[in-house]
Amino acid sequence: MTRKFAYFLVLLSLLTGSTAGQEKISFSGYLSDMQTVYRIPDYWLWENSLQNRLNLDFYPTSWLSGSLQVRNRAIFGSTIGKIPGYGESIGGDQGWLDMTWATDGNLGDSAGYVLSSAVDRLWLQFTFGNLEVKAGRQRINWGQTLVWNPNDIFNSYSYFEVDYPERPGSDALRVSYYTGNASTIEVATKIDSANRVTAAGYFRFNTLGFDIQFMGGIYQGEDLVLGTGWSGNLGSAAFRGELSYFRDLDQFKDTTGYLMTSIGYDYTFSNSLMIQIEGLYSGFAKEMDVNSFLQFYSGNLDVKNLGFTPWSFMGNISYPLTPLLNGAFATIWYPDWNGVYLGPSFDLSLNSNMDLSLILQYFTAEFEDPSGAKNREKNTFGFLRFKWSF
């Protein structure tokens, strides 16, 4: 089906007239290899992940565009046998259409492999003046803050994932109308692999130096969601925030709902030193049964699981040590767990299209076991990645 669709787009682009002499097809992507080491309770694990991303964008006419983007991975390492369900989780597709293919197997006694290919964007966009209609697998990003996004109900994903900035897409239909140069109204609906429908409306406008948004709808067929968010500045620092309210539709009268809010500041000094702080409150956290950090470490998240504890506080500092070498240090404090996350990282530009990244993640916190005793859990993850963009 995917191949037919690609042929169709190519054909369409050949048949239609030229648009101001610009290329009608654009091809881009990257090839990366990442070596990972995990130190988790009781285990040392390792993994090598070869990743290739292909983006094919089509612009057959001025009013029609489309995109097909594929993420191919070849992973091998001791993680595959040791983490139950790991292979299957890579082969899983959260979307309504299953456009992920994967196969896994063993490499001797101590390691395994997974080969996977996933279509994470496949959309067509029709543009009629200020009106845009976008249909297919796409990313809908309604976030305003920089770390945790309670307003971003379509594509929640783990903050700790270091090798997938694009994030998966949603199988969705979105209609956008730009009411002004810096304002928009959107209506979007998506359906996921469990046939749950999320449908919401969104309005963003700009006034007094602030972007302000309101959103509301049904989240995964279960909850009413209402939210607001903003970006602006206090003094010369950026001030961003989001607030979302969720209430279970089946128990609407018996419950009062849950609040989730994030607020952040960021400031950039003239020497390009960037400092950022953000806090998250989640009303859902106290309902969650968390006994290990690893429960929420990777992959797709329900927006309700953005916060694992009622309060999370994040600080980040980023500085170009040289124009080619950027250093950053992120830290998150989880007061209810007596826990912290520490994340130093370095990105080195080798040439215009090649980058080398070193990322470390350390996590320590106390969890209660079933007997009520508290145990401290420590996890360390190390990533070394080479990336060639084309």
Partner 1 sequence: MLILLSAMALPVLGQDISPKEIVRKADEKFNGEKTSTAVMAMTIVRPTWERTIEFKNWTSGREYALTLITAPAKDKGQSFLKRQNEMWSWNPTISRLIKLPPSMMSQGWMGSDYTNDDILKESSVVNDYDHSIIGEEELDGRMCYKIKLVAKEDAAVIWGHQIRWIDKKDFLFLKSELYDEDAYLVRTETGSEIKIMDDRLIPTRIELIPTEEEDQMTIIEIKEIEFNAPIEESFFSQQNMKRVR
Cβ closer to partner 1: 158 or 349?
A: 349
Shortest separation between residue 165's beta carbon and partner 1, angstroms: 6
Query: Counting contacts by CB under 8 A, is residue 21 touching partner 1?
Result: no
Residues 141-170 that bind partner 1 (CB under 8 A): 141, 143, 146, 165-167
Cβ closer to partner 1: 77 or 150?
A: 150
Query: Counting contacts by CB under 8 A, is residue 11 touching partner 1?
Result: no
Residues 262-281 that bind partner 1 (CB under 8 A): 266-270, 272
Q: Give the count of alpha carbons within 13 A of 132, CB side only.
A: 16
Query: Counting contacts by CB under 8 A, is residue 61 touching partner 1?
Result: no
Cβ closer to partner 1: 9 or 80?
A: 9
Query: Counting contacts by CB under 8 A, is residue 17 touching partner 1?
Result: no
Query: Counting contacts by CB under 8 A, is residue 355 touching partner 1?
Result: yes
Stretch that binds partner 1, among 228-236, 279-287, 304-312, 330-338 (CB under 8 A): 228-236
The DSSP output letter for 154 is S
Cβ closer to partner 1: 51 or 78?
A: 51
Query: Counting contacts by CB under 8 A, is residue 390 touching partner 1?
Result: yes
Q: What is the contact surface with partner 1 in residues (CB under 8 A)?
A: 22, 28, 30, 59, 127, 130, 132, 138-141, 143, 146, 165-167, 178, 180-182, 184, 206, 209, 211, 231-233, 236-238, 240, 266-270, 272, 320, 323-324, 349, 352-353, 355, 387, 389-390
